[in-house]
């Protein structure tokens, strides 16, 4: 990578403040950048690092005061930086189309145009892989499963029977789609398995992180809505339904039959009870425990989760408990003293 700030500004539609001939040879964060790197400022709390960074240029949403740092003003620094990396950053090595001879291909498997089936992939009977999709080594596609067009399935992903992926789906290593839901009937102290005969449907433009598990429905479908992004180590139970463009961060657990609306955000390690509804654009903050349905556009936190202002007020009150206890003891002592004086006065009366 070797481009000028002017070329970067032209790519991103930005305005240069400073020397537009400055050469850029790499990309990095503000704190780790070296001379020749370009960085970005998306969160104002990192603005103090502008005075310390060794970067040669930075993408900003508005001109920043002082310093000799070359600035490129863009509408959205975070998004612009991502586009810059896509254009000039290290490129992921692409696997050539074709079916490797070590792949195991079952009967009635259908492969689209220009697909890549890497070494040691197993495609069970009736599996379908759409045009231009890339299936990395050691992936398993179960019987009658379907992968859409332009998908990327990274190594050691298991997609069980009858599960369906839309177009442009990305699934990272170690993820399991369509494992059995956790269903048992307890009779006389013995847990008897309830067969899980449903499916998982992953809609278009979904990305799923590493080592995530999405269980098949007991009946019907577990569904992940289009454009939803799921982080690593997430557990989604049977018959869960998510709307479109949800964000589900690492180590979230969603119990069975819960429904998420559109544009819902679940913070890291949030725990969501079963058979409830999280409304459109609701936000569940990190480590919250949600036991009841959440109305649309509501932010909740804490355990059990409550509307954020209520939860914060309670947290403040808890932090003040030692001082409050001390005040109560002092008041109790004063009341006891006053009661003793009143008693003495009453006895002194003729």
Q: Average pLDDT for residues 34-44, to the nearest whole number?
A: 94
- Cβ contacts of residue 6 below 8 Å, gap of 6+? 16, 20, 21
170-204 confidence digits (pLDDT tens): 999 999 999 999 999 999 999 999 999 999 999 99
Which of 138, 238, 245, 263 is the catalytic position?
Answer: 238
DSSP character for 53?
Answer: -
Predicted confidence at residue 348, as pLDDT, reads: 82
237 burial (CB, 10 Å; 0-12 / 13-18 / 19+) is buried
Q: What is the DSSP string of 9-43?
A: HHHHT-EEES-TT-EE-EE--TTT--TTEEEE--S
| CATH class held by domain 98-309 | mainly beta
Predicted confidence at residue 94, as pLDDT, reads: 82
| Residue 349 in this model has a pLDDT that exceeds 80 | no
Euclidean distance between CA atoms 124 and 138, whole angstroms? 13
Is residue 5 within 8 A of residue 77, CB to CB? The reply is: no
Rounded to a whole number of angstroms, the distance between the first and last alpha carbons of the chain is 102
120-163 confidence digits (pLDDT tens): 999 999 999 999 999 999 999 999 999 999 999 999 999 999 99
| Residue 66 in this model has a pLDDT that exceeds 80 | no
- Cβ contacts of residue 233 below 8 Å, gap of 6+? 209, 210, 211, 212, 250, 251
Nearest CA-CA partner of 315 in 336, 285, 291: 285
Tokens in use for 69?
Answer: 């740092």
Least confident of 115-124, 143-152, 280-289, 341-350: 341-350
Euclidean distance between CA atoms 328 and 336, whole angstroms? 12
Predicted confidence at residue 230, as pLDDT, reads: 98
Euclidean distance between CA atoms 148 and 123, whole angstroms? 14
Catalytic-residue membership of 156: no
| CATH class held by domain 3-88 | alpha beta
313-324 confidence digits (pLDDT tens): 999 999 999 999
CA angle 146, 152, 156 (to 5 degrees): 85
Predicted confidence at residue 125, as pLDDT, reads: 98
| Residue 25 in this model has a pLDDT that exceeds 80 | yes
Task: Output the CA–CA distances (angstroms, integers) from residue 263 to 142, 229, 245, 255, in the order listed.
Answer: 31, 10, 5, 19
76-133 confidence digits (pLDDT tens): 999 999 999 999 888 777 889 999 999 999 999 999 999 999 999 999 999 999 999 9
Predicted confidence at residue 308, as pLDDT, reads: 96
| Residue 167 in this model has a pLDDT that exceeds 90 | yes
Predicted confidence at residue 257, as pLDDT, reads: 97
Euclidean distance between CA atoms 82 and 295, whole angstroms? 33
Number of Cβ within a 10 Å radius of residue 105: 15
Q: Average pLDDT for residues 291-309, to the nearest whole number?
A: 97
C-alpha 121: how far from chain center: 28
**Checking DSSP bridges between strand 306-307 and strand 299-301, what pairing results, if any?**
antiparallel
């Amino acid at each position: 990578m070797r481009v000028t700030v002017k070329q970067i500004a032209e790519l991103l539609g930005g305005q240069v403040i400073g020397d537009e001939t400055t050469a850029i040879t790499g990309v990095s964060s503000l704190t780790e950048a070296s001379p020749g790197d370009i960085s970005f400022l998306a969160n104002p709390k990192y603005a103090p690092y502008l005075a310390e960074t060794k970067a040669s240029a930075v993408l900003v949403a508005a001109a920043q005061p002082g310093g000799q740092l070359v600035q490129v003003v863009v509408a959205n620094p975070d998004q612009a930086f991502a586009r810059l990396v896509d254009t000039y950053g290290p490129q992921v090595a692409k696997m050539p189309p074709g079916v490797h001879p070590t792949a195991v291909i079952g009967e009635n498997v259908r492969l689209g145009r220009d697909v890549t089936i890497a070494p040691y992939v197993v495609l069970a009977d009736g599996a379908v892989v759409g045009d231009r999709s890339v299936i990395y080594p050691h992936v398993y596609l179960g019987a009658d499963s379907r992968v859409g067009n332009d998908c990327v399935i990274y190594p050691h992903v298991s997609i069980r029977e009858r599960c369906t992926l839309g177009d442009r789906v990305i699934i990272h290593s170690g993820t399991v789609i369509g494992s059995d839901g956790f269903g048992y009937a307890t009779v006389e102290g013995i847990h008897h398995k309830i067969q899980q005969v449903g499916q998982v449907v992953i809609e278009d433009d979904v990305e799923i992180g590493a080592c995530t598990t999405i269980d098949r429905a007991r009946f019907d479908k577990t569904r992940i809505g289009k454009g939803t992004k799921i982080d690593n180590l997430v557990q989604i139970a049977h018959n869960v339904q998510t709307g479109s463009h949800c964000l589900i961060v690492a180590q979230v657990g969603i119990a069975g039959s819960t429904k998420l609306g559109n544009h819902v955000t679940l913070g890291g390690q949030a725990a969501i009870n079963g058979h409830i509804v999280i409304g459109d654009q609701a936000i569940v903050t990190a480590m919250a425990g949600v036991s009841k349905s959440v109305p649309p556009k509501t932010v909740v936190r804490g355990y059990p989760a409550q509307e954020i202002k209520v939860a914060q007020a309670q947290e403040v009150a808890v932090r003040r408990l030692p001082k409050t206890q001390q005040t109560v003891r002092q008041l109790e002592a004063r009341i006891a003293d006053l009661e003793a004086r009143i008693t003495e006065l009453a006895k002194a009366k003729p």
